[in-house]
Structures are given as structure tokens and as C-alpha cells.
Structure 1
Amino acid sequence: MATLFRISNIRLLETGKLSSQASKILRQLSDASTDLKAVLAAKIPKEQEKVKNFRKNYGNTKVGEVTVDMMYGGMRGIKGLVCETSVLDPDEGIRFRGLSIPECQKVLPKAPCGEEPLPEGLFWLLITGDVPTESQVKAISKEWADRAELPAHVVSLLNNLPCTVHPMSQLSAAITVLNSESKFAKAYASGVHKSKYWEYAYEDSMDLIAKLPVIAATIYRNSFRDGSGIGAIDTSKDWSHNFATMLGYDDPEFIELLRLYLQFILHLVGSALSDPYLSFAAGMNGLAGPLHGLANQEVLIWIQKLREQVGDKYTEEQLKEFIWKTLKSGQVVPGYGHAVLRKTDPRYTCQREFALKHLPNDPLFQLVSNIFKVVPPILLELGKVKNPWPNVDAHSGVLLQYYGLKEMNYYTVLFGVSRALGVLASLVWDRALGLPIERPKSMSTAGLMKALKAT
């Protein structure tokens, strides 16, 4: 009721039906409010107007050109979508609402006695564009804890799936059947006006983010811990802390690692007005492939093969020999290179800093560090690699191994849970701005050759 009251007042503010003094007070309340939905409701009309005016004035302006290589290369480098929440710069790395990862680590609120920002704070930043206060972050933690309970039919589904079903398939199935709870789907079916789409997309997104750790922990326990119970959500704990506890880990360092890990495909399905559950499930299916979500698993397998061959008392020459052997066999060095970045992935850097602080003498971490020294010069020597630097996958699996989470098939589930924050925040804004279904134009090779008069 409080949320509806604030939203209705904000709509009066936007239509000029409140006094200037009342408007000023309401805006101040919105800035300080711990009610994320009310804060968002105050921002959306301004952004809608900004986009409307921008399109009116610049709608026919060209922002780039498309080459044949871009078309055959998976649309790489084509400027073709709008994302309000983050931008990936080739030189600076990813920025969330204008803030780099190191900047986010400095300004976003942390748990008591913690050193890593809470994912709740990143979500608030993505949704609103504002750095949240500690009280605003605590409000999100409690709201997600309050929304976390799973419907009985989802619990039954997870508990009846054979443990031989891949964890990512279990995750996708559970999210898909959660669609039964979709407020967006129900509102759309009842004919709700499109100006209110964002409100129901927001509600579904908050519900889904809240429930994902419960789903993921249930999958972990069923697949790798003989179906032992996950316990109850503690509303006094943050999202990551509850997740770690449900997985069965109480090491404060692992909890901190999970906070770091959880911060950092869906788009097309969401543009068709599929609800957030179906959209995110589609994204998880795309994420499960070895070129994306399974990449840190591929890295870890490669590192373990390297370690088996050279042991823990290796020389730099032995490392170089194994790397050259990998390259000459036609493979890439897993964990190195990035489609956009032209520098070391900032996510790799922050995970490396975590490892230097907490596990500097771990043999696998030391091996990763020494690989970091020798791989870039070798890739530069090849002369064909645009980015010889490590990405986040080069490190993440090693950290999870150190703290005892050794089941590699599960790593993509963790990756998927972390992706929810960014993609669902983006989906809410897609609905708020009324972005249409995406219909990219496809051409056959014959049609393309004809258009270019190539024979």
C-alpha cells in the first residue's frame, strides 16, 4: 500500500498537480526512500521524455556502418541495441551506470565487517543510476529475503529431477515453471496498459532474483549433497550470505567471494514481451554453452592438465612449452582474449586482488599467476591476437576450488545467478522505455553477394 501511495503521488508530481513545496518534499523523499520501486517510478517519466526528444531530433542519424565480416562474425561490433544499465568499453572495461568496477568497489555499501560490495547495492545502482545508502541496500536484502520462498510445484519439480540432469538444465526448468507466478503475464492477459508494463516486469524481476539462490542451492544439494536440506532464509542476512549458507558454506571468506562473484541472450526474448521468467530461462539456455558460461570450467580443465604435466615445481620454459603445444594443436589458450576488451579484464583484476589477500600461497593460484606472466607475450608474438590479456574466466574457477566448491558442472549456475542482476535491471528499463521487439534483418550469402555485385 505504501508503494502504491508513493507511486500515485509521483504521478501527480509529474502531471503538475502537487504544489511546488509538496513536489520538493516528495523528490527528497524519493532520493532518501528505501522503496526502490517508488524511486524508480520517479525517474522513469524523465527518462521517457529524454529518449522521446532524443529520437525526435536524432532519429535518422547514422551511428556506424556494417561490414560483411561483422555479419559473418556474429554481429560483433555492430551498434544495434540500447542498454541503459552498463557499457563495455574496449579500453576501460565495463562501466555500470558510468562507474568502473574499482569505483563500484569503493562507493557501494558493504556488509558489516565485509570488504566487498553487496550485490544489492549494484542492483540499486543499475536500476536507478544512483549509488545507494546502507539503509537502501538493507531494505533490498530484506525484501529479497521476504520474497524468496518457492512455490510447492517448483520444489517438487527440483526434488524429482534425476541428479544426472545437468545443473543448468535444472535451473532453466525451474525458472520456466516459475512463470506460473508471473505478475507480468497475468497483467498482460488482463489488458493492462503498456505504460504500466515496467511495474509488473519489476515485480517479476524482484521475485525471480529473490528466488534464484533458493533454486540454485536446492540444485546443488540435490546434485552433489545427497538431497540434504538447504535450511531457512534468514531475513537479517544479505542475499549472498543466505546463498552461501544454503549451499552449506559458513566461511566468512567464501561469503565475501560469493559477494564479489555475484556482482559481475535474454535481451531478444524479452523484447517479444515474454515475461521475465521465460526471458531469463532462455538466457540461461544460451549461457550454458562452452563459449560462454562453461568457459571457466574449460579453463580449469586446461589448468589441471597443465599441472598434471609440469607438477608444482615447474619452470617458465615448461609453461611456455605447454602453451605453444596448445596453440599449435589449433586450440586457443582458455581464459585469454575478449570479444570487446583490449586490456586485462577488470573482473580478473579484482578476483586476483582477492586471491592475493586470501590465498597467496595456493598452488593453483600461483600457477594462474605464472601463466599470466607468460601467455600475453606469446600471444603478441603470434601477431594475430587483438587482446592477449586474461578475462574473468581465467581466475574464477580456481577461487571456487580453493574454498571447496569443486563441482565444476555447477559453476555455470553461479554465473547464471550473477547475471540476473544486470539483465533483469535492463529488462525493467526496456519495458519502461517501451522498446519494441527486435527484428534484425538477415540475408543469405547469395543475397549478400548480389547486393554487393560480387560474383
Structure 2
Amino acid sequence: MKLPEGLAGVIVDQTRISSTKNEILTYAGYPITELKDVPYEEIVFLLWNLRLPTESELVSFRRELVSQMKLPAETVRLMERIAREPQHPMSILRTTVSLLGTTNDNEHDEPPRILAKMLTAVAAIIRIRNDQPIKRSKPDFGVVENFIYLFSGKRPTAEQVKMLNTVMVLHADHEFNASAFTARVVASTQSDYYSCLTTAVCSLKGPLHGGANEQVFKMLETIKQTGQDPLEYVERQLESGQKIMGFGHRVYKHGDPRAAILREIARKISYETGNEAYFEMEEQIRDFMFEKTHLHPNVDYYTAVIYHCFNLDRDTFTTMFAACRTAGWLAHIMEQREEGCLIRPSSEYIGETNRHYHADKEAHLNE
């Protein structure tokens, strides 16, 4: 029996964290459309506890996360060296996560502290690569406000916080995606949190998973810088068999619900920052792609323009995805560890059989 390509549609385990059943994304049973404006900290609490926090719990949880948005001094010293190397930022993040697993009493690190460190590490990588000093979090800022401040160096407006909060909520989790499942496999061995997160980062780096947002903006930049007609460019790519990144989804055949929300954010922020040409180009390509292929934009398509409007370099887009998705990764790691069962699937062998070493060696010698 031939299995579906990429195990598409194959149920490998159960989860209470999130679902994409019937092409509707829900977090612990709540539709994402009802959660898009909920504070990020509340979404993290929901994913980790499978219930909404009380007001006092939310205040306490937010305070705990913000208080931990700092990195060990020894980690910073090493980061300042490796982050300047001509490597992809996701490679630097991969090494940084591994470093965090070897410093500062990491055996006692729990998810709130780990998430806070991850957000701070991503911001620090962005700052170091821009030859800017690393900032320290502000105790009176929320998590998202602090995150923007840490990577930009400026206090964001309330509107900027609201927009990035929604982006982070929409990226927080997505059922058994490649990186979450990778983290769960490692977690099933009872390995530590940082080992699990390192493998998740490695998985997210690939262009078919988290790296797609970078490829979307690379396309837009190429079209703009070369003065090409967007539709002619896309048509040539399709005719040559190239994949147009940011379109189609294995789960959402009738449109990614996250993309619909992100589209409005991309529209708003692009016009507010003088980047409307990129958004208008996306709209042209969106209509053309649906006409030609019946594919809809996915979560990566509009996120690319949004990140650009936050003055982020294209090669850091996937690290932003990692920052947002860490909450979900940690939720899956915790759930898998509680399950206490090693993930060890079987495979169907389809190679050669009835081969014998000595007979084959003798045959080769006689040739």
C-alpha cells in the first residue's frame, strides 16, 4: 500500500492544542477569527493551559514573561561573534538556541523563561547584524511592545503593537506542522526543552516551511528592482515549472484563514509606511494566481510585506516566524512529554531482497 505523499492526511497522534479540522484553525477550541486581537500573552497561556487565564493570572503571566526577557551574559558574548558571520540568521538562531541550552542554569528553565529568551534572542540577532547595540526590555511594556522595542530600538505606537500582536497570534501554533512534529519526536525521547527547540528551528529554516516568507519578498524585490511587469514575471516562472512561494496550502484548499486577516494588516501598514507599491503588486499577483492556478495566498504571502514595513531585512523574516511559533512549539513539547511515549514509527521496506554478500563480491571480482 502506497502511503500519501508527505504523510498528508495521515493521523499520527492526538492533540488538544490546536486544530485545522474542516479548514478552520482553532486554538484549544477557539476559532482564530475570535482570537486575532487577543493579547499574545493570553494566547500563550491558552496554548499551554488549554483554558483562558483569569485577569489576575494574565497580569502575573505577562509580568513573568517580561521579567525574563533577557539573555545570559555569556550567551550575548558568543552571539556578538557568531551573529556577524556571513550565515543565514536561522543558522545563527539554531546555534543560539543550542547555546542557551548550555548556559545559565538551563536545567531549571521552564517554558515562560524559555519563550522570553527566544524572543530576546531573535531581537538580539537582528540588532547585532545591523551593528546596533542590544536593548534591554522595559518592565512597563507588554511582551509584544517589548519585542518590537528590542529589535527596532524604538518604542512602537499602539497601532504597531496591535498589528504585530495579531501577526504573532496567527503564527503561534498550527497543529502538527513540520517543525512542531519534529519537536514532538525529540520530546518523546524525554530530551530537554532546548534540544527540542533546536530541532524545531532547523525544520522551520527550510523554504517549504518557514522560509517561504523570505522567498515571497525576494520575488517582490526582484520584480520591483528590475522593472518587470508582475504578471509577466509570474507567468514566466509558472511556464518554467517554478513554484510561486506564498500560494497554496496542504490543509487549506479554499483559502488560508490567517491570510485573509493578514491581508488587511498588510494593506494598512503598507500605505502608512510608503510601501503601498509592494502591496498593490501582491494584489495583482494574487488575482492572477487564482485565475491561472486556483491557488489562494497562505500565511507567508502577506507576512512578507508586513515584516518589511517593520524595517526588517528579508533574511530575518524566518527568525520572526520562529519567535512567534515558539509558544506553540513549547505547548507541543509539554504535551508530548506528558504523553510519555516514544515516537518510533515503522517503515515499509521497498528495496532489493534476497541478496548475498559473498556471491555478489565473487561476481564483481569475476567481471
TM-score, normalising length from structure 2? 0.85
Q: Quick one: distance in 1 between partners of 2:92 and 2:190?
A: 24
Q: Quick one: distance in 2 between partners of 1:288 and 1:373?
A: 28
> Which has the higher mean CA deviation after the structures are superposed, 329-338 or 247-256?
247-256
Q: Quick one: distance in 1 between partners of 2:249 and 2:11?
A: 17
> Which has the higher mean CA deviation after the structures are superposed, 269-278 or 144-153?
144-153
Give the counterpart letter for 2:344 in structure 1. Answer: R
Deviation at 1:123, TM superposition (A): 0.9
Give the counterpart letter for 2:68 in structure 1. Answer: R
Q: Quick one: distance in 2 between partners of 1:379 and 1:69?
A: 26
1:285 aligns with 2:208: no
1:231-276 C-alpha deviation (Å, 9 max, x unpaired): 2221221111111111124332333332122222212111111111
Q: Is the 8 A contact 2:65 2:116 kept in 1?
A: yes
Matches within 5 A, 1:78-93: 78-92=10-24
Q: Quick one: distance in 2 between partners of 1:257 and 1:249?
A: 16
**Runs (4+) off by over 4 Å:** 308-311
Q: Is the 8 A contact 1:182 1:277 kept in 2?
A: no
1:423 aligns with 2:355: no
Matches within 5 A, 1:258-337: 258-263=164-169, 264=171, 265-308=182-225, 319-337=230-248
Q: Is the 8 A contact 1:345 1:390 kept in 2?
A: yes
Give the counterpart letter for 2:332 in structure 1. Answer: S
Deviation at 1:402, TM superposition (A): 2.1
Q: Is the 8 A contact 2:47 2:331 kept in 1?
A: yes
Name the counterpart of 2:304: 397
Q: Is the 8 A contact 2:149 2:156 kept in 1?
A: no
Q: 1:212 to 1:394 in 2, by over 3 A?
A: same
Q: Quick one: distance in 2 between partners of 1:97 and 1:77?
A: 20
Q: 1:182 to 1:420 in 2, by over 3 A?
A: farther
Q: Quick one: distance in 2 between partners of 1:323 and 1:160?
A: 40
Q: 1:320 to 1:363 in 2, by over 3 A?
A: closer
Partner of 2:19: helix, strand, or coil? strand
Of structures 1 and 2, the larger Rg is shown by: 1
Partner of 1:359: helix, strand, or coil? helix
Q: 1:398 to 1:357 in 2, by over 3 A?
A: closer
Q: Quick one: distance in 2 between partners of 1:430 and 1:319?
A: 45
1:312-368 C-alpha deviation (Å, 9 max, x unpaired): xxxxxx554333221110112211101111122121111112233443471111111
Partner of 1:230: helix, strand, or coil? coil
Partner of 2:341: helix, strand, or coil? coil
Q: Is the 8 A contact 1:290 1:298 kept in 2?
A: yes
Name the counterpart of 1:414: 320
> Which has the higher mean CA deviation after the structures are superposed, 360-369 or 78-87?
360-369
Aligned residues: 336
The share of aligned pairs that are identical, in percent, is 25
Deviation at 1:156, TM superposition (A): 1.6
1:246 aligns with 2:147: no
Matches within 5 A, 1:133-212: 133-161=54-82, 162-180=84-102, 186=107, 204-212=110-118
Partner of 2:20: helix, strand, or coil? strand
Deviation at 1:69, TM superposition (A): 4.1
Matches within 5 A, 1:16-31: none
Residue from 364, 381, 384 that aligns with 2:278: 364
Q: Quick one: distance in 2 between partners of 1:359 and 1:135?
A: 37
Partner of 1:243: helix, strand, or coil? helix
Q: Quick one: distance in 2 between partners of 1:291 and 1:354?
A: 24
1:376-396 C-alpha deviation (Å, 9 max, x unpaired): 12103xxxxxxx111011111
Partner of 1:289: helix, strand, or coil? coil
Deviation at 1:310, TM superposition (A): 5.3
Partner of 2:282: helix, strand, or coil? helix
